[in-house]
Structure 1
């Protein structure tokens, strides 16, 4: 238990920030004090703290250089190691192209070339392989036990088999207590690596961002700069993302998906791609290192031509139910073409206001989808 708590503590420190933003309270260790209505001094102290935060101290995020994203062959790439570590640890954005999700190719390569001697640290891929091997061994031993129990029921058990039967019962009892068999544990997860150990290997991996993630980081957070042959403005980035997707005008799949992505991100969910489960998005309470995704999202735009039929929905619901997630249907209503064009062609003092007005015309409504089992709901 102690090891588990320590691991959770380290993970909490490593992934402390849900977004790649530095708050003034975090940078300057300043917090808003409590106010007592009957105590005028508390009000004066509150005003002083607000003035201190907003005028005496500079906004810390404004002093941090923007992260660099490169658009190459319709792929949004983050090649700088420090940048993609920041994006992964602060919101779990993107995917390592040589890894399952977290970009750990360099760390795995270091171990493969025996440059790290600590065998107690594992990357996500190594941890998964370790669990699968342990589960495979458990199933093999369980099969032996079932075979001996069958002989026992047929009264064909020899004295040697009886001794093996008791030994297997004890062994399986111990193996069932293993977190890899019982549930998923993060005790052995590798969470940090010394820079001196990484210096000898060139990192060939980069972080690939989805178009909706890239636009969110640019439009909503303004923490990245996107380059193609030159630095792209928010409007140019929006245009590139739309061209990479299907549909024209307000029913473009990028805008519809982004409205859902922004919606769930604004509610505090960690949103990841759901392609491996046949859905559009996965929702995590905190992120992949902590828990599995609780919800799978399927986007249904307000256009019958783009809507999935019930056969597709039933198939996806069965897959989602098998992996113990709840399916969420996200219905998106979008504006007509006239309103869409009017907003895009209008002039605004702040370019961000244009997209604030545009995305405000998209409405997201979520509905939980559960498969009805008549045998379980007869009462």
Structure 2
């Protein structure tokens, strides 16, 4: 179970799950305990604090039961983990191994409710999540790229063993598809990237020995034809998930960025960028 608090998701897990999250580089361990979060978790699960402490350690400790008395402090085998919105939705939507609850209202959130809330909390969530899921499905370890001025950085191996190989900049295209450049009102963002900004990003990537990948995220409008989700959750031309020939234009037009069903309609395109030096030949 996870608690959505502000722009982060908090989960309270035992040692085995904590090791698994660490091996997969999902979330960050937060030292110490948080009485407010623990109280909210107990209200959701219907268990007391002492029962909650013992619950996550089941199957991991020596099997001894805690006797009556005041609740002890959290044992070292339990820890709070803080997940980004992208990581939490990936666990919820793709892996189906997380249930999210609203911190304030103490109610479970559906996938649709989580998506709508995340879009409101983080306006760039659509493109950042598509980037996260796309590269996770390719086997990369995906971490925030804010330190390098990009969307994500990609690791082929655990960050403790190797440095990141790529910087990713996700660019949301306004109501466009790869096959059409007609504008739409589905997304109200501009997807342009000034040449000077591109050169700056390439220069930073070169200085830190990384390659820059531009990930164009296309949100087609209601008249761009059929789509179906592929293994990485983005669309490809063809039939829909139910094997039909695709949704009609009126169904596409009903979708907006607050509807989780927009995910199968999204296309992505990767472009690797190398440094261009003025005066050099325009071709290899």
Normalising by structure 2, report the TM-score. 0.61
TM-superposed CA distance for 1:305, in Å, is 2.5
1:236 aligns to what? 113
1:288 aligns to what? 159
Unaligned 5+ runs, structure 2: 34-60, 63-71, 175-188, 223-249
2:275 aligns to what? 371
Q: In 2, are the aligned partners of 1:333 and 1:363 still within 8 Å (CA)?
A: yes
Distance change (3 Å), C-alpha of 1:321 and 1:96: farther
Q: In 1, are the aligned partners of 2:154 and 2:165 still within 8 Å (CA)?
A: yes
Unaligned 5+ runs, structure 1: 1-67, 99-104, 107-194, 247-252, 345-353
2:146 aligns to what? 275
Q: In 1, are the aligned partners of 2:7 and 2:122 still within 8 Å (CA)?
A: no
1:95 aligns to what? 28
Q: Per-residue displacement from partner, 1:312-333 (whole Å, max 9, x unpaired)?
A: 2222221111110000000111
Q: In 1, are the aligned partners of 2:7 and 2:85 still within 8 Å (CA)?
A: no
Distance 1:78 1:358 in 2: 27
Could you say what secondary structure the match of 1:236 adopts?
Answer: helix
Distance 1:201 1:207 in 2: 14
Distance 1:261 1:286 in 2: 16
TM-superposed CA distance for 1:343, in Å, is 4.8
Alignment of 1:217-228 (within 5 A): 217-228=91-102
2:85 aligns to what? 211
Could you say what secondary structure the match of 2:4 adopts?
Answer: strand
Distance change (3 Å), C-alpha of 1:342 and 1:86: same
Deviating above 4 A after TM superposition, structure 1's stretches of 4 or more consecutive aligned residues are: 199-205, 337-341, 374-379
2:206 aligns to what? 321
Distance 2:251 2:135 in 1: 24
TM-superposed CA distance for 1:311, in Å, is 2.4
Distance 1:293 1:325 in 2: 7
Matched, 1:73 2:17: no
Q: In 1, are the aligned partners of 2:169 and 2:213 still within 8 Å (CA)?
A: yes
Matched, 1:311 2:196: yes
2:233 aligns to what? none
Which of these residues, 255, 258, 264, is aligned with residue 126 of structure 2?
A: 255
Q: Per-residue displacement from partner, 1:252-276 (whole Å, max 9, x unpaired)?
A: x212222222111122211111111
TM-superposed CA distance for 1:97, in Å, is 4.9
TM-superposed CA distance for 1:376, in Å, is 7.5
Q: Per-residue displacement from partner, 1:88-127 (whole Å, max 9, x unpaired)?
A: 22x21123456xxxxxx89xxxxxxxxxxxxxxxxxxxxx
Distance 1:359 1:334 in 2: 9
More helix by share: 1
Distance 1:319 1:333 in 2: 26
Q: Per-residue displacement from partner, 1:109-155 (whole Å, max 9, x unpaired)?
A: xxxxxxxxxxxxxxxxxxxxxxxxxxxxxxxxxxxxxxxxxxxxxxx
Distance 2:277 2:100 in 1: 49
Alignment of 1:1-379 (within 5 A): 68-82=1-15, 83-89=17-23, 91-97=24-30, 206-228=80-102, 229-246=106-123, 253-303=124-174, 305-336=190-221, 342-343=254-255, 355=260, 358-373=262-277
Normalising by structure 1, report the TM-score. 0.46
Q: In 2, are the aligned partners of 1:78 and 1:84 still within 8 Å (CA)?
A: no
Larger radius of gyration: 1
Distance change (3 Å), C-alpha of 1:296 and 1:259: same
Distance 2:4 2:73 in 1: 28
TM-superposed CA distance for 1:361, in Å, is 1.0
Distance 1:301 1:264 in 2: 16
Q: In 1, are the aligned partners of 2:150 and 2:169 still within 8 Å (CA)?
A: yes
TM-superposed CA distance for 1:243, in Å, is 1.0
Q: Per-residue displacement from partner, 1:176-222 (whole Å, max 9, x unpaired)?
A: xxxxxxxxxxxxxxxxxxx89xx998669732211111111100000
